[in-house]
Amino acid sequence: KNEVEQSPQNLTAQEGEFITINCSYSVGISALHWLQQHPGGGIVSLFMLSSGKKKHGRLIATINIQEKHSSLHITASHPRDSAVYICAAPLTQGGSEKLVFGKGTKLTVNP
């Protein structure tokens, strides 16, 4: 079982719709990362959050540490938001820490 699970795997929306992508993790963490992978392949970090909510433009990320769940919301979606969104959680194994990545959610926003 993957320690970081995302849903849905694929999401198609019409321009202007409100988007929600979910991330659940099975290990205790101190923070969670959301990343965006553009159709061209580049990966950028969107958020790192350890509690509550963070907002950047039309993107909002929330996290509930107790429930081991985070959501990424996109308001007023636009075709340029089409990308793969990835969540990642830090995992400590054998004294070292590494990020465990979800498989990603592919978002397509149609005009």
Partner 1 sequence: NAGVTQTPKFRVLKTGQSMTLLCAQDMNHEYMYWYRQDPGMGLRLIHYSVGEGTTAKGEVPDGYNVSRLKKQNFLLGLESAAPSQTSVYFCASSYSRGANNEQFFGPGTRLTVL
Residue 30 CA: distances (Å) to CA of 35, 98, 100, 108: 17, 12, 13, 31
Of 57 and 111, CB closest to partner 1: 57
Tokens 């019409």 belong to residue: 14
Nearest-approach distance from CB 65 to partner 1, in angstroms: 12
Nearest-approach distance from CB 64 to partner 1, in angstroms: 17
Q: Is 2 an interacting residue with respect to partner 1 (CB under 8 A)?
A: yes
Residue 79 DSSP one-character state? G
Q: What x-and-dash track marks residues 71-100 binding partner 1 by CB under 8 A?
A: ---------------x-x-x-----xxxxx
Contact, 4 vs 87, CB < 8 A? yes
Residue 16 CA: distances (Å) to CA of 4, 75, 81, 110: 29, 7, 11, 9
Q: Is 111 an interacting residue with respect to partner 1 (CB under 8 A)?
A: no
| Size, binding site for partner 1 by CB under 8 A | 26
Of 14 and 64, CB closest to partner 1: 64
Nearest-approach distance from CB 23 to partner 1, in angstroms: 11
26 burial class (0-12, 13-18, 19+ CB within 10 angstroms)?
A: middle
Residues that bind partner 1 (CB under 8 A): 2, 4, 29-31, 33, 35, 41-45, 48, 50, 86, 88, 90, 96-104
